[in-house]
Structure 1
Amino acid sequence: MLTLESLRVWWRHQLDRVSLRDFFGCTDFWHYLKRKIAPDEEQVPTEPVTSDKMNYHKKQSSKVGWILAPAFLIIWPAILYAIVIPLFLSLPEGITIASESSYPGQFIAERAENILYDFNHIGPKVVGSDANENHTVELLKNELEKIRSAMHEDLFELDVDVQVVSGAYMHWQMVNMYQAVQNVVVRIRSKNSTSEAALLMNSHFDSKPGSPGAGDDGTMVVILLETLRVLATTRQTFTHPIVFLFNGAEENPLQASHGFVTQHEWAKNCKAVINLDSAGSGGREILFQSGPNHPWLMKIYRRNAKRSFATTFAEELFQSGIIPSDTDFRIFKNFGDIPGLDIAHFKNGYVYHTEFDRIDVIPRGTLQSTGDNILALARAFSNSTELKDPENHASGHAIFYDFLGLFVIEYTEDTGKIINTAVVVVALVLVAISLWCIAEDSFISICSVFKLFSLIFILHLVGWILALALPLLVAVALDSAASPMTWFTNKWLVLGLYACPALFGLSVPTILYLSISRNDKVSHPYRLQLVYHAHTLILSVACIALTFVGIRSSYFLMISLIFQDIALIINFVTTLYRRAYYWSIFITLSQIIPFLYFTSIFNALLIGFIPMMGRFGTATNPDLIIGLLTTWGTLLAMGYLIPLLNTFRRPKLVLLIFPIVAIVVGALTLTLIGFPYRPQTNVQRVNFLQVQRVFYEYDGSVSLNDSGYYFDFQDRRRHLPLESYVDLEDLYYVSKNCSTYMFCGVPVFNHRMQKAVKYAAWLPREEPIELPGRANLTLISKTANASDESVRFEFELQGPPHMSIFVQPIDDVVVSSWSFLEEMIQNKATYQPPYHIYFSYGKENTPLSFYIDLKKDDSDFDEPLMQLGISGHFVSAEWERDAETKKFLAELPPYAYAMEWPTSYDVYTF
């Protein structure tokens, strides 16, 4: 007869036979279930349990000798320097022309390098200069003719167009107006193709003042030329045409790409773009923007890039505005609605936009590595089915990241939410099971374990706060001591300044607690497991929060959690979680891949970001940015590894390694090691204009006529490193003039100078600046219009290729209309006077005619109505500098690089 008692006996037998404990490893969890089902079965006597517990805890208390702890700590930076950094720096051998026959249809680096020599030899290529508008354009046309002569004419058609274009658009807080800038545009198509959808590939050939631009962007120019040559000379057709855009006004900024995408007849057929730019010279290129809203682009990249390097984190950093750069990609996206990939070199950003951006810092391997990728992508995109109608494949943002350049992982943002959520749920379930198992193995209630876990969680949360606060405290202290950027040349200093304080802060609360807490109920190994569970809980909460507020870089946390999940499952299955500290073996092994990934990506980011701090401006403490980036990378790479210090004897003594290293490194920053700059390689950027300014009153009298140097310092140390070399006794910061003069009385050049004008400085000069010319403004007419109670001023402006117009209405006067973009004066919530109109020209120097309409409540137009500032910038090195300026430049320290030019500045009152 079936009775309740017989069911209990049968169920107990099944539990013993199946041995579910071998699956989960939680023996006492299943004993607990059996006791609930069969409560009348044997009970564990009180006294034997106590004795077993004492022996059990004694057995589990054995630790590794503390002398091995330094070896454990050293092995991780050793992996960084032995594996991660060499992989990052590795480049392929460049294929030579002599061996070309052995590499049919492949990119030939030596041929691209030969063109780059000629490109570099031209020198700086500023818009409006003879070098940019004539010599470089001729170089491109000659290379294109060479390609045409070698092309398979039976397979391909090649069209070349030199576009001369004028236009304007809003660029941040200024009207960006251009006249007769040039594009060299090439279209190649297979004769058997009927497709009108085209792939656009873009690079720019102009450069910053004083820079030959071999890296930015000559490298990408010659890579595109060689890519075009290989496509045209290989008997391998493609479905869609490819448009190669060599634009001549990117640094100006972004003018030529705007002219192409808004006015060129081929632009309307461009369905995707590969934009190639640079923020450095040499090394591997990074894909740092994709889409937007076109994840198919990353699928093609993943399948075809031979040496991948891509990360969503770089994309989100760039789009946050923290990086002081912009690319043509934004123009193609905003004005052409063209999705695509934004790719750039970033290594050795120290020479970016300086005279040292020359061919001698660009290895042939860089050309080969990037060339192989770009050629493969060109072939893949030009044969893709998605290119015909990309909008049919627009399905959300992409999440993408590579692993050590070996392969790329990509999926949509929606898929990322599912993956992140699943990983977090599994992690939390495993933590819950572990807490239950700890309670059963320790013979205490689950509530007691939960209370202990809550205490450890709070302590570990305090550790996270300290891990973030201590590096920031170091950053503030260095800045307060006028010693920012000590890591600018010696990047390894960030390990001592920021990584060590972060690890110390993260570890100190739990190490102190585990060292002084008694283990009479829950053993030390179990308490240490609770530290790991606290870390998992913090990462899980952060991962879910960031995921659902749209931060795609939350995949970082998912990577940490998924490998911890794997380690927990293995420890459950093998029951190692119960055996002293043996469970730490799989914790360590599971963190090798995350360590390799996080150190590789943050090493690359620091290599890119540290040089950027030399041109980040003076307003923000750069140590805060580098400190946060280093800390974040350290916590991700070592967050699950550093608690293992508790498996060694004397962990408090071991913990002292971190503050000792931090103190030693801090002392080193006071020596030459911590001085940021080095001649030619790691320079201080000194941007200054030699200004001769004249301010006219309404009656034509002159209220100010002087000369001086207008400094736009590029880094946090400002003028201090220059003081022992040049006389800066009379230097003052113009912020005190901002309430008196329009734009603080200085002729801001572009939107970046406009943004930083309050931090600009002025050094008066007794001897007048000898200018090569002036920007000349002519008042053509002043006409009152009684019907709408306005007055119109008509002007003509003539001068150098770079000029600015500043408009400041006086009192209750408003600008009602003008000949520039109406958006600036109509959108009063976004744009406030004084207004800035930047104007440049390339091939043609036709005078600029414009008008300004003003309105006033009382219609009295016979009194001062507006101030009109006119600056003329003689940017090109083709203009002569005066003797006094040359002397000043010669006195600058050898570690300083000056981007400078003469400027006229006239302010009129009308």
Structure 2
Amino acid sequence: MERSSAAVGAVRRLRTQGPQQPPQHPQQQRRRPEKEEEGRQGKKPGGGDRSSSPRRLPEARASLAPLLYLLGLRVLVHLSLERLVQPARGPQEFDAARARAYLDNITAFGPRVVGSPENEILTVNYLLQQIEAIEIESSNAHKISVDVQRPTGTFSIDFLGGFSSYYDNITNVVVKLEPRSGAEHAVLSNCHFDTVPNSPGASDDAVSCSVMLEILHTLSKSPEPLQHAIIFLFNGAEESVLQASHGFITQHHWAKSIRAFINLEAAGVGGKELVFQTGPENPWLVQAYISAAKHPFACVVAQEVFQSGIILAETDFRIYRDFGNIPGIDLAFIENGYIYHTKYDTADRILTDSIQRAGDNILGVLKYLAKSDNLAKTYEYRHGNVVFFDIFGVFVLAYPARVGTILNCVITALAVLYLGKKILQPRKRAISYLRELAVAAVFTFLSWFVALAGTLVVAVFISLIGRSLAWYTHFHVSIFLYGTAAVAKLIFVHTLVKRFYYKNTNEQFLGEIFFDVSLAFWSVMLALLTYLGLCSAFVSAIWVAFSLLTKLMTYKELKEKGATMKFVLVYLLGMFVPYLYLMYLNWVVFEMFIPSMGRSGSEIPPDILMASFVVMVSIFLSSYFLNFIYLARSTKKTIVTLTAVFAVAFILVCSGVFFPYSSDSANPRPKRVFLQHLTRRFHGLDGHLAKSDSGIWINGLDYSGMSHVTPHIPELNDTTRTKCEEESPLCGLPWILPVNYLFRKNWYLPAPVMIPKNSIRFQLLSKEQTPWDTTKLTFEIVGPSRMSMYLRSHQGVTLSKWSLGDGTPLANTGGDYFVYYSHGLQALPWHFWIEMKVSDEPVKGMVTLAVATHYVFGNDQKSVQLNALLERFPNWTFPSSWVSTYDEFVF
């Protein structure tokens, strides 16, 4: 090969050089001794030309190796998760069979809605009977005290845009297990036995209450006394927006002794209970879980995602944290969220092994806390957060966040040293390397953008033609549709770059430079997440640390022999931990994310979210495989195969082959629909009825609306879409919670007026002018156990004070004021007052006030017309229905 001093010749020599020497700027290369020059041109000292026939990976190996690798990791993840729900058999302190008997008996009462006899009488009596039986069998080392609390109270919460809550005479069953001599401090264990309407609530949350009963039974029989008390709260009003926990922690005389808590919840039906929230601060609680839980399953990533507000959900954890200032642990079942809050949430769907596993974990943790010296002085241990994550269900790794920050900084520094070694060269070489690294980074970001944009175009098209959620029942459709599209575009962009920009460039040099780009990306992510104080930065730390280790393991092989099969195997082995853990995290996210799309509202296009998430996962998983594209001889067959798979999936999805929902009795995937037989009455400023109507108001809980139901019920079409009453708060519709911004597409079929026997009574008791120049209006409402009240102040009028929450009115994001109300049995009439400050004389009154009633149980729940319509819904739907009224007044 001839040498030339021309710039063009120098560029060619730069791009044909291997990784033996750091890259140089082509125009500043100097002549070298003949032996050195032979090495740069790819010749061995003993002869043999490597540049003319470089060692490259056959396409089959370059594509199949990562694919089989990822599939193998997915199998390992599946096996580890299966082990989580199948603990080893043998003598157990906790008896899952007895807990299952409790579960069967509780769910036999059916739906247990706040205010219903099933919730307030039957379940409460059953719990008291079992507690009494447990007390009879308890040892002399313990004392059991029982209290039935009926609290009344009010609070405000910045959830779902912000609203206030009022509850009256709801029910809590509270049990305290303590040493005979008594105990000053206590740990709380919380479950709830109430349910949403029309669901037996086996996993949410009867199984947790059954587990708590069995734990109480097990501990009470032990001859070994506890150091601290354990308070078991069976709360009867969690589904009514966390009211019972607020009533307990702010009003019960035992609440002041509580120093920590464990909250048992569900976002799915059975499976594994995930620790997804801890604290605030108090890292010793995580250590307690690690020390005592037999089958740990916990991740700080879930905590930071949940607390970010991305997931529209809250648990009693928030009440104890915000109103009780108590640290705790939040656990929830997450498997099979498709049937959460539906009629399919039955006891027979919860594995006995799952009950055993939950019982082992919670019993162990409660015993540990009840004997811990830390419980008596938790205020001394509020020193920062903790990084925690389980290693495939075998054990949990945890360390203080400040230690994590140090580790992250050290790992980032190692990455900087690795990259800096290539930069801290003679100036000309450093500039050349930085230029090549920057160009490679631009091409990488370009490939990501093309993959995201192209995949989103497909997702938008799928949404526009009405084929959303094809992957809801068939999960792998999302991989074949969006995953293949994303990966094909990634490979295609880099193939074009390799062919046209990096033409005649040494493959080993390209493999190394694109490895450095991925390393730089993860290092920047690590530094950024650490700077933001996020404990989830440990994921980036794993990717940086193991990539550096992999580089150390493969450098010599790549340098001396090129991209051999040994290099591939060692490379995949070195990246085993980060790839396996990312696959593990992906499963947790998918397990929670996909079912939630069935109840995410009519305004959020689920395919766009799914496509974005699949592209993000594809980018992460491909980050350290991009160099394989440049080390491979070709990528044509890979691109053609991926494109063909995508095309087939696209055609099948567009043709409607993959129906989103399933009526399979063993594994249902129902479409959720809410129906309310509604009667509306609008009153004018003079108090007379201005207009009224009646009909069945219908809400589909997912993006597809009623498109799949319309063939079965033709009248559910665009002509019957609900119109918003602009002058009325929340569009004049009986929202049970302020979620109207998520469900703007709804339907209204005319139907006869339905007058419940327990009709609402609403009246203005007084109107008075206060010394501080406001108008005070006092009201009384008598109605069913579940109601919603909306207020809208008129122009020139300010709602300054009221008797709800903390006294300061909390407006929703829409500007209206929303109050959620519930009561138990024998509740008094609801009295409340509001104060209005008038700046300009209003023309049409000061305030519009509306009250919506919800008859979610009993004889008033159904109507003839409602039952007739329910029978027409296909068996792959879950229609939840009740009777409602809406009354609006202007004052």
Identify whether the pair has TM-score above 0.5, normalized to the shorter chain: yes
Tell me whether 1:581 sits opposite 2:563 in the alignment.
Answer: yes
Partners of 1:860 and 1:449 in 2: CA distance: 71
Structure 2 unaligned residues grouped into runs of 5+: 1-17, 23-29
Q: 2:458 matched to which residue of 1?
A: 474
Partners of 2:221 and 2:403 in 1: CA distance: 42
| CA positional deviation for 1:411 | 1.9
Q: 1:628 matched to which residue of 2?
A: 612
Q: 1:284 matched to which residue of 2?
A: 272
State the SS of the aligned residue for 1:722.
coil
Mapped contact 2:760–2:853 kept (Cα < 8 A):
yes
Partners of 2:244 and 2:318 in 1: CA distance: 13
Any idea what the Cα deviations from partners look like across 1:807-841, whole Å, max 9, x if unmatched?
Answer: 2333433334433335443x67x788532222210
Matches within 5 A, 1:499-578: 499-516=483-500, 523-572=506-555, 574=556, 576-578=558-560
Distance 1:884 1:413, change over 3 A: same
TM-score, normalised relative to structure 1: 0.88
Partners of 1:403 and 1:373 in 2: CA distance: 16
Mapped contact 2:462–2:654 kept (Cα < 8 A):
no
Of 165, 180, 183, the match for 2:151: 165
Q: 1:869 matched to which residue of 2?
A: 850
Structure 1 unaligned residues grouped into runs of 5+: 1-24, 30-38, 97-101
Range with greater deviation from structure 2 (300-309 or 133-142): 300-309
Matches within 5 A, 1:758-837: 759-784=744-769, 787-821=771-805, 823-825=807-809, 834-837=816-819
Distance 1:228 1:637, change over 3 A: farther
| CA positional deviation for 1:603 | 1.2
Distance 1:445 1:210, change over 3 A: same
| CA positional deviation for 1:766 | 4.2
Q: 1:174 matched to which residue of 2?
A: 163
Q: 1:711 matched to which residue of 2?
A: 698
Q: 1:86 matched to which residue of 2?
A: 79
Tell me whether 1:456 sits opposite 2:475 in the alignment.
Answer: no
State the SS of the aligned residue for 2:106.
helix
Distance 1:846 1:661, change over 3 A: same
Matches within 5 A, 1:185-584: 185-191=174-180, 195-433=183-421, 445=429, 447-516=431-500, 523-572=506-555, 574=556, 576-582=558-564, 583-584=567-568
Aligned length: 856
Partners of 2:185 and 2:230 in 1: CA distance: 9
State the SS of the aligned residue for 1:472.
helix
Tell me whether 1:739 sits opposite 2:722 in the alignment.
Answer: no
Mapped contact 1:798–1:848 kept (Cα < 8 A):
yes
Of 866, 871, 884, the match for 1:903: 884
Distance 1:338 1:523, change over 3 A: same
| CA positional deviation for 1:47 | 6.8
| CA positional deviation for 1:715 | 0.8
Alpha-carbon RMSD across the aligned residues, in angstroms, is: 3.0
Distance 1:59 1:120, change over 3 A: farther
Q: 1:662 matched to which residue of 2?
A: 646
Partners of 2:36 and 2:599 in 1: CA distance: 73
Mapped contact 1:95–1:109 kept (Cα < 8 A):
no
Mapped contact 1:691–1:709 kept (Cα < 8 A):
yes
Greater helix percent: which structure? 1
Partners of 1:460 and 1:110 in 2: CA distance: 56
State the SS of the aligned residue for 1:111.
helix
Mapped contact 2:494–2:629 kept (Cα < 8 A):
no
Partners of 1:565 and 1:418 in 2: CA distance: 18
Range with greater deviation from structure 2 (638-647 or 356-365): 638-647
Range with greater deviation from structure 2 (885-894 or 801-810): 801-810
| CA positional deviation for 1:382 | 1.6
Partners of 1:868 and 1:538 in 2: CA distance: 54
Partners of 1:556 and 1:511 in 2: CA distance: 29
| CA positional deviation for 1:722 | 1.6
| CA positional deviation for 1:656 | 3.1
Any idea what the Cα deviations from partners look like across 1:221-278, whole Å, max 9, x if unmatched?
Answer: 1111111111111233332211111100000010000001101111111111111100
Partners of 2:448 and 2:852 in 1: CA distance: 52
Of 585, 600, 603, the match for 2:584: 600
Distance 1:841 1:696, change over 3 A: same
| CA positional deviation for 1:532 | 0.7
Counterpart of 1:851, as a letter, is W
State the SS of the aligned residue for 2:536.
helix
| CA positional deviation for 1:374 | 0.8
| CA positional deviation for 1:485 | 1.5
| CA positional deviation for 1:399 | 1.7
Matches within 5 A, 1:64-213: 64-69=57-62, 71-91=64-84, 103=91, 106-153=93-140, 155-172=141-158, 173-191=162-180, 195-213=183-201
Distance 1:592 1:694, change over 3 A: same
Distance 1:475 1:310, change over 3 A: farther
| CA positional deviation for 1:909 | 2.5
Matches within 5 A, 1:14-33: none
Partners of 2:494 and 2:842 in 1: CA distance: 76
Any idea what the Cα deviations from partners look like across 1:124-157, whole Å, max 9, x if unmatched?
Answer: 000000000001111111111121122112x111
| CA positional deviation for 1:446 | 5.1
Q: 2:50 matched to which residue of 1?
A: 57
Mapped contact 2:600–2:742 kept (Cα < 8 A):
no
Mapped contact 2:387–2:401 kept (Cα < 8 A):
yes
Distance 1:512 1:277, change over 3 A: same
Mapped contact 1:514–1:524 kept (Cα < 8 A):
no
Counterpart of 2:298, as a letter, is A
Mapped contact 1:467–1:505 kept (Cα < 8 A):
yes
Counterpart of 2:491, as a letter, is S
| CA positional deviation for 1:178 | 0.0
Of 673, 678, 681, the match for 1:691: 678
Partners of 1:598 and 1:45 in 2: CA distance: 43
Partners of 1:730 and 1:586 in 2: CA distance: 60
| CA positional deviation for 1:647 | 3.6
| CA positional deviation for 1:69 | 4.5
Distance 1:46 1:361, change over 3 A: closer
Distance 1:491 1:824, change over 3 A: farther
Mapped contact 2:510–2:630 kept (Cα < 8 A):
no
Partners of 1:388 and 1:731 in 2: CA distance: 64
Mapped contact 1:286–1:309 kept (Cα < 8 A):
yes
Taking only the aligned residue pairs, the percentage that are identical comes to: 28
Distance 1:185 1:705, change over 3 A: same
Distance 1:631 1:198, change over 3 A: farther
Mapped contact 2:19–2:508 kept (Cα < 8 A):
no
Any idea what the Cα deviations from partners look like across 1:526-576, whole Å, max 9, x if unmatched?
Answer: 22111111111111112212221233322222111111111122234x565
Of 619, 630, 636, the match for 2:603: 619
State the SS of the aligned residue for 2:552.
helix
Q: 1:651 matched to which residue of 2?
A: 635
